Amino acid sequence: LARYAKGIVPGAAIAIFCFCSATGSSLSSDLWGDVLWWSTDGDIVTQNFDATNYRIVLHEDGVQYSYPVISPDGQALVMSRREGGNVDACILTTLGMTCIPTPGYLYGFGWSPDSQVIFYSINEGDGQIWSIDLSVEVPVSTLFLDPNVYRTFGVCVTFDGDHLIMAHDPSNWTYNNFIESFQISTNMSSTILPTDGLRDFFPTCSPTRNEIVWGRGTRPSCCGEPLDVWIMNADGTNARALTSDSSVLQHHPRFSPDGDQVFYLETNSVGSNELWVVDRLGGNRMFLLDLGPSARNIDISANFAPVLTVQIDIKPGSDTNSINLGSAGVVPVAILSSAEFDAPARIDPGSISLAGARVKLVGKKGKALCHDEDVNDDGFVDLLCQVETEQFLLEEGETNVTLEAETYDGQTVQGSDLIRIVPDTN
Q: pLDDT (tens digit, 9 = 90+) per residue, 255-273?
A: 999 999 999 999 988 999 9
Regarding whether 223 and 355 lie in a shared domain, the answer is no
Among 300, 335, 361, the domain-final residue is 300
The average pLDDT across 99-115 equals: 92
Q: What is the CATH number of the domain that holds 332?
A: 2.60.40
The pTM of this model reads 0.70
- Residue 402 belongs to what domain range? 308-422
Q: How many CA atoms lie within 13 A of 318 on its CB side?
A: 17
Regarding whether 130 and 22 lie in a shared domain, the answer is yes
DSSP 275-312: EEEEETTS---EEEEEEETTEEEEEE-S---PPEE--E
Q: What is the CATH number of the domain that holds 112?
A: 2.120.10.30
Name the pairing type of β-strands 44-47 and 35-39: antiparallel
Regarding whether 264 and 247 lie in a shared domain, the answer is yes
Q: How do residues 48-73 score in pLDDT, each as one tens digit?
A: 887 888 889 889 999 999 999 999 98
Three-state DSSP state, 350? helix
pLDDT at position 305, please? 67
Regarding whether 268 and 144 lie in a shared domain, the answer is yes
**Contact criterion met (CB below 8 Å) for 216 and 232:** no
DSSP 149-201: ESEEEEEEE-TTSSEEEEEEESSTT-S--EEEEEETTTTEEEEEE---SS-EE
**Contact criterion met (CB below 8 Å) for 67 and 122:** no
Regarding whether 270 and 351 lie in a shared domain, the answer is no
Q: How many whole angstroms separate alpha carbon 110 and alpha carbon 388?
A: 53
Q: Which amino acid is at 198?
A: L
Regarding whether 317 and 293 lie in a shared domain, the answer is no
**Contact criterion met (CB below 8 Å) for 78 and 110:** no
Regarding whether 322 and 213 lie in a shared domain, the answer is no
Q: Count other Cβ atoms within 10 Å, centred on residue 286.
A: 15
Q: To 5 degrees, how large is the angle CA 201–CA 27–CA 41?
A: 50
> Which is more confidently placed, 167 or 1?
167
Q: How do residues 308-348 score in pLDDT, each as one tens digit?
A: 788 999 999 988 888 887 777 899 999 999 887 899 999 99
**Contact criterion met (CB below 8 Å) for 139 and 132:** yes
Three-state DSSP state, 2? helix
Three-state DSSP state, 343? helix
Regarding whether 139 and 276 lie in a shared domain, the answer is yes
Among 277, 300, 323, the domain-final residue is 300
Among 273, 300, 327, the domain-final residue is 300
Domain count for the chain = 2
pLDDT at position 407, please? 86
Regarding whether 312 and 296 lie in a shared domain, the answer is no
Q: How many whole angstroms separate alpha carbon 261 and alpha carbon 281?
A: 8
Q: How many whole angstroms separate alpha carbon 72 and alpha carbon 69?
A: 9
Regarding whether 295 and 316 lie in a shared domain, the answer is no
